[in-house]
Amino acid sequence: MALSPSHPFGRVLCAMVTPFTADGALDTDAAAALAVRLIADGCDGLVLNGTTGESPTTTDAEKATLVRAVRAAVGDGVPLVAGAGSADTRHSLELARAAKAAGADGLLVVAPYYSRPPRTAVAAHFRAVADGCGLPLLVYDIPGRTGTRIDPGTLVELADHPRIVGVKDCSYDLAGASDTMAATGLAYYSGCDELNLPLYAIGAAGCISTVANAAPGAVLAVRDAFDRGETGT
């Protein structure tokens, strides 16, 4: 599909799982096969090395290897967004640069977790990664995991950065998301499958779906039905 600022990585992306062999090694063959199947089944793009992709437990080298393997499997026309989240800005930037070198088209960067930095530090974290890598970036707002909410005011400020292009939203705050979308050009992607439709209905670009690993057709069907105006029960 044609990409645009309103949906910079497509509309339905899969938060892809990371396969491993029985002895715990990264299974690049299985990852490549899964990626090809997901794109064939209708996903516009893939998010690699997110939480669903075992990012807390894979090494930096494994993360880069996964991106390279999936890029080789799906070719250059498929948007690949790579997780580059860390509580350490310097480490996030290292992950971002490695993802770019491995073939990623964009980054998914979570708010620094555990230490719960103030909003000025949160904004500085995202700006530093965006400044230092050169790839477009999705801000990942998931306060239930990080302990830090990226408030709408901070997102409005971050929207001024040319490479901060969107939000993966797990805030469960539809009103806040609506306000931010109205005030900025940020592309919103639902990160909670149960909110894919409500967020899409108020203007989101689409979703980054975990369910799409198992049932991409069902995720696409909901979007397509809404686009056709089929909003009844």
Model-level pTM? 0.96
CA distance 177 to 155: 10
CA distance 167 to 66: 23
Average pLDDT for 178-187: 97
The residues annotated with a catalytic role in the active site are 140, 168
DSSP 8-state symbol, 213: G
pLDDT at 180: 97
By mean pLDDT, which of 2-11, 98-107, 179-188 is the weakest? 2-11
pLDDT in tens, 23-72: 999 999 999 999 999 999 999 999 999 999 999 999 999 999 999 999 99
89-102 and 60-74 helices cross at what angle (nearest 10)?
A: 30
**DSSP secondary structure string for all residues of 125-169:** HHHHHHHHH-S-EEEEE-HHHHS----HHHHHHHTTSTTEEEEEE
pLDDT in tens, 68-100: 999 999 999 999 999 999 999 999 999 999 999
pLDDT in tens, 195-221: 999 999 999 999 999 999 999 999 999
Which domains, ranges and CATH numbers included, belong to the chain? 12-227 (3.20.20.70)
